[in-house]
Amino acid sequence: MSVIIDGKKLAKEIRENLKIKCEELKERGIEPKLAVILVGNDKPSQIYVKNKSKACEEIGIKFEEYLLDENITQKELINLIEKLNKDNTIHGILLQSPIPEQLDINEAFRKILPEKDVDGFNPVNVGKLVLNQDTFVSCTPYGIMKMFEAYNIDLTGKNVTIIGRSNIVGKPLIQCCLNKNATVTICHSKTKELKEHTKKADILIVAIGKSKFITEDMVKKDAIVIDVGINRDENGKLTGDVDFENVEKKASFITPVPGGVGPMTIAMLMNNVLKATKNLEIND
């Protein structure tokens, strides 16, 4: 039996603290504001944006949504980003991905001012993370690091295996774990003998997007297992990338889905918006 890492509870505590910080800022006449750009009609994106809006409302962060038609041109998207960059009442800018194929998301992320890039996707902020400098860390990896901190899990010298090399989860996680002195292995769809890598992991972090892909035989006894995946199983039930029921018996710590990494991601976004607000205040 393992300790189940309660991301829901931890995220709630973080949001409560942020609410107090937000009130303090408001008492000083500063109103934190997040601008979110949503392009097209992607249903999951609409749900993610709605959840972010709810979290902002709970904490007291002003939320502005920019809904753009799916046929928008790159120029129109960049013009909006530049307008938001110049608007001093806006502290954080988030471009919800995915965006339609005709648009260049890399250019769009590059155009968001690094100081307002609360998702940590601007190459300047990615570079700062690599150099272990203060920056906006993308929210899912940041949330996972906060979980380790809250449960007193020290990464020093640990073998961490990450599965999935996306720009938003796997790649920034490499740096986050390295910055905490872990020995990091990153696996992906072209990795051979995946099990050899998962079996040696003291900490296994999985971000693939395949329901119950990690089975009990792939996990070392007493490993710490972090499940980033969000999937639906054959019955439409929300599941992670880990076969929780069986892996839970072998792991020392494990995150559930739902109620694990997901709520932490949103809490860290809120944290980044307040960080952006404070940074801009200092620069003014």
- Site residues for ligand NAD per CB under 6 A: 140, 163-166, 168-170, 187-189, 191, 194, 207-209, 228-231, 261-262, 265
DSSP per-residue string spanning 55-109: HHHHHT-EEEEEEE-TT--HHHHHHHHHHHHH-TT--EEEE-S---TTS-HHHHH
Distance CA 199, CA 49 (A): 37
Residue 2 or 231: the one with the smaller Cβ distance to ligand NAD is 231
The kind and range of the H/E element at 8 are helix 7-27
The residue (of 125 and 140) whose beta carbon lies closer to ligand NAD is 140
Q: Which is nearer to ligand NAD, 20 or 238 (CB)?
A: 238
CB closer to ligand NAD, 118 vs 187: 187
Q: Please, what is the minimum distance in Å from the beta carbon of residue 120 to ligand NAD? A: 13
Q: Under a CB-based contact definition with an 8 Å cutoff, are residues 58 and 267 in contact?
A: no
Mapping DSSP to helix (H, G, I), strand (E, B) and coil, where does residue 186 land?
Answer: strand
Please report how close the Cβ of residue 139 comes to ligand NAD at its closest, in angstroms.
7
C-beta of 159: minimal distance to ligand NAD in Å?
Answer: 17
What amino acid positions are annotated as catalytic residues? 52, 96, 119
Question: Which residue in this structure is represented by tokens 């790649």?
Answer: 171
3-state secondary structure of 159: strand
Of the candidates 17, 64, 3, 71, the one whose C-alpha atom is nearest the C-alpha of residue 40 is 71
**Quick one: 203 or 280, whose CB is closer to ligand NAD?**
203
Nearest distance, CB of residue 226 and ligand NAD, angstroms: 10
What long-range pairs does 156-159 form, CB within 8 A, spacing at least 24? 156/180, 156/181, 156/182, 157/181, 157/182, 157/183, 158/182, 158/183, 158/202, 158/203, 159/183, 159/185, 159/200, 159/201, 159/202, 159/203
- Closest separation in Å from C-beta 48 to ligand NAD: 9
